[in-house]
């Protein structure tokens, strides 16, 4: 079947999978994005055929013509989501429909074809099913799924490509940051911005992350774990980090997070944090937060906590903020109680250790 909302996947098991003992050793401390499973999904798209040739096969290099459009104009998008061993048994995913929908909107922004949401979901299920032995069982571990799509047409003209390849790979992961969930030290970049109004900030495209790398390097040069980008127009208010949204916790227990004005990613973890906080009776306001307000609020006690959130980072506290004008601590510089409470609630729901009042968790196996 081709081009429809459902595709038949041809399953070709890897004839030489990693041996069980080696896999077990790799799963002990996988870190983030270093270890990969035995299989991948690939689906092709051609303008005249639609989506076709859906496969699950051995993970392998992708042959690419040097004139493939993605290599020149970066027409590429991706997603990130996780599969878990649920506490009560079975394998689950967290809000995969939200990723499927965001993949469609990222594609629209990058002038790419929409992958039907059901095909996206089926592709994840097939990969999880065949690579289920790679899902870490250790607490804090999960199987990170990385669906992505790029322009594969061999063509150097600057226009939307007519051929694409959609791929899903999987990586067993632990904590995203090397220091685990220790409070982050962040650098407010005076030099670089992430996205301007009308740009690609709300799309999950590789280019946004490529442009963040030099800012992350600047952050590292100042002894920081990550970068906080300011708005591109006034360079005054917080947008987001290199790959995470930001929340602030105020002294009245309410939360503030930058609004979705098109320059930041509409994070699924961000949206889940908002829902969890509101359910607990907290007010969540989407509004601009300037660095001046953050600094003054940290000094006066008005801003008690701050944290980064995303699929990979989950919820990670921010303890220290460095700017070219000096640094300030948030709260006592440690992991704030509201941050850690939200983190635990989210993880418990994701892992099936707590009730799922929003119906977010999908049983896959």
Residue numbers at the binding site for ligand COI (CB under 6 A) = 80, 243, 310-312
Cβ neighbours of residue 132 under 8 Å, at least 6 residues apart? 91, 365
How near is the Cβ of 278 to ligand COI at its closest, in Å? 22
Question: CB-wise, 311 or 339, nearer to ligand COI?
Answer: 311
How near is the Cβ of 237 to ligand COI at its closest, in Å? 21
Question: CB-wise, 46 or 315, nearer to ligand COI?
Answer: 315
112 backbone dihedrals φ, ψ, rounded to 5°: -115, 160
Nearest to 334 by CA among 304, 309, 292, 295: 304
How near is the Cβ of 293 to ligand COI at its closest, in Å? 26
Question: CB-wise, 141 or 331, nearer to ligand COI?
Answer: 141
| CA-to-CA dists, residue 159 to 90, 128, 200, 259, angstroms | 45, 35, 17, 31
CA atoms of 267 and 255, how far apart (whole Å): 16
Nearest to 194 by CA among 170, 224, 214: 214
How near is the Cβ of 29 to ligand COI at its closest, in Å? 18
How many secondary structure helices (H) and strands (E) does the chain include?
A: 8, 18
Question: CB-wise, 80 or 317, nearer to ligand COI?
Answer: 80
CA atoms of 176 and 30, how far apart (whole Å): 10
Question: CB-wise, 210 or 233, nearer to ligand COI?
Answer: 210
Do the Cβ atoms of 128 and 80 come closer than 8 Å? Answer: no
Catalytic-labelled residue, pool 82, 162, 204, 216: 204
Cβ neighbours of residue 73 under 8 Å, at least 6 residues apart? 151, 158
Paired with 305 in beta bridges are 249
Residues for the chain: how many in total? Answer: 365
How near is the Cβ of 158 to ligand COI at its closest, in Å? 27
| CA-to-CA dists, residue 250 to 138, 174, 283, 304, angstroms | 34, 30, 10, 5
Rg, Å, the chain Cα set:
21
Question: CB-wise, 80 or 141, nearer to ligand COI?
Answer: 80
Residue 162 known to be catalytic: no
Q: Is beta strand 314-323 parallel, antiparallel or unpaired with respect to 326-329?
A: antiparallel
How near is the Cβ of 310 to ligand COI at its closest, in Å? 4
Q: Which sequence positions are flagged as catalytic?
A: 204
């Amino acid at each position: 079947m081709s081009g429809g909302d459902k595709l038949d996947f041809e399953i070709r098991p890897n004839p030489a999978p990693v041996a069980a003992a080696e896999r077990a050793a790799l799963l002990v401390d996988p870190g983030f994005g270093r270890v990969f499973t035995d299989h991948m999904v690939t689906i092709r798209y051609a303008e005249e055929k639609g989506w076709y040739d859906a496969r699950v096969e051995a993970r392998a290099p992708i042959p690419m013509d040097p004139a493939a459009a993605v290599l020149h104009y970066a027409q590429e998008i991706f997603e990130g989501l996780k599969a878990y061993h649920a506490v009560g048994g079975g394998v689950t995913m967290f809000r995969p429909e939200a990723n499927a929908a965001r993949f469609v909107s990222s594609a629209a922004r990058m002038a790419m074809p929409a992958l039907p949401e059901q095909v996206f979901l089926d592709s994840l299920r097939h990969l999880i099913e065949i690579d289920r032995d790679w899902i870490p069982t250790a607490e804090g571990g999960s199987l990170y799924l990385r669906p992505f799509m790029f322009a594969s047409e061999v063509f150097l003209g600057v226009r939307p490509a007519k051929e694409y390849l959609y791929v899903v790979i999987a990586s067993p992961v632990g904590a995203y940051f090397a220091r685990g969930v220790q409070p982050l030290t962040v650098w407010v970049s005076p030099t670089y911005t992430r996205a301007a109004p009308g740009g690609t900030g709300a799309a999950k495209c590789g280019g946004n992350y490529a442009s963040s790398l030099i800012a992350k390097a600047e952050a590292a040069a100042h002894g920081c774990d990550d970068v906080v980008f300011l708005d591109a127009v006034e360079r005054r208010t917080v947008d987001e980090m290199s790959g995470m949204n930001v929340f602030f916790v105020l002294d009245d227990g309410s939360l503030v997070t930058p609004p979705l004005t098109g320059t930041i990613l509409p994070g699924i973890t961000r949206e889940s944090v908002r829902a969890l906080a509101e359910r607990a009776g907290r007010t969540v306001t989407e509004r601009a937060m300037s660095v001046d307000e953050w600094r003054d609020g940290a000094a006066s006690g008005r801003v008690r906590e701050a944290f980064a959130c995303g699929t990979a980072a989950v919820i990670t506290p921010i303890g220290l903020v460095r700017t070219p004008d000096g640094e300030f601590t948030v709260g006592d510089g440690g992991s704030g109680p509201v941050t850690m409470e939200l983190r635990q609630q989210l993880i418990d729901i994701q892992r099936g250790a707590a009730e799922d009042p929003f119906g977010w968790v999908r049983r896959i196996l």
